[in-house]
Amino acid sequence: MRRISAVVVMLALGVLATRAAAPPVNPPSGSVRAVMELKQQFYYVGEPMTVRVAISNDGASDVANPVKSPLFGSFIVADPQGKRLAPQAKPQAQEPSRPAKLTPNEFYGAAVDLSQMYPQLRSKGKYSIRWSADGVSSDEIVVTVIPKFDPSKDYTARVETELGGFVIELFKRRAPIAVKTFVDLANAGFYDGLVFHEARADQIVGGGDPTGTGGGQAPILYPAELAAIPIVAGSVVMKPAGLAPPANSSQFVISLRPEPGWIGQFTVIGQVIDGLDIVRKISNVPTSDRPKYRPLKDIHTIRVTIQEEMSPASPPTGSNL
153-310 matches 32-146 in CATH topology: no
> 289 Cβ partners below 8 Å, 6+ apart?
none
User: Residue 302: which region, alpha, beta or left (left: phi > 0; alpha: psi -120 to 50)?
Assistant: alpha
Q: State the pTM of this model.
A: 0.80
pLDDT, position 28:
42
pLDDT digits (tens, 9 = 90+) for 79-120: 999 999 999 999 988 999 999 999 998 899 999 999 999 999
Per-residue pLDDT in tens (0 to 9) along the chain, 321 residues: 333 333 332 222 222 222 223 333 334 446 999 999 998 878 999 999 999 999 999 999 999 999 999 999 999 999 999 999 999 999 988 999 999 999 998 899 999 999 999 999 999 999 999 999 999 999 999 999 999 999 999 999 999 999 999 999 999 999 999 999 999 999 999 999 999 999 999 999 999 999 999 999 998 899 999 999 999 999 999 998 776 677 899 999 999 999 999 999 999 999 999 999 999 999 999 999 876 799 999 999 999 999 998 766 555 555 666
CATH 2.60.40.10 fits 32-146, yes or no: yes
- Give the whole-angstrom CA distance, residue 79 versus residue 86: 10
pLDDT, position 321:
64
**Structural domain spans, the chain:** 32-146, 153-310
Beta-sheet strand order (sheet of 252-255): 198-200, 204-207, 252-255, 235-238, 268-274, 164-170, 153-161, 301-310
pLDDT digits (tens, 9 = 90+) for 36-90: 999 887 899 999 999 999 999 999 999 999 999 999 999 999 999 999 999 999 9
Phi, psi of 294 (to 5 degrees): -90, 130
- Give the whole-angstrom CA distance, residue 189 versus residue 183: 10
User: What's the residue count for the chain?
Assistant: 321
Alpha helices (H) along 139-222: 176-187
User: What topology is assigned to 153-310 in CATH?
Assistant: Cyclophilin (2.40.100)
pLDDT, position 304:
98
- Give the whole-angstrom CA distance, residue 78 versus residue 68: 23
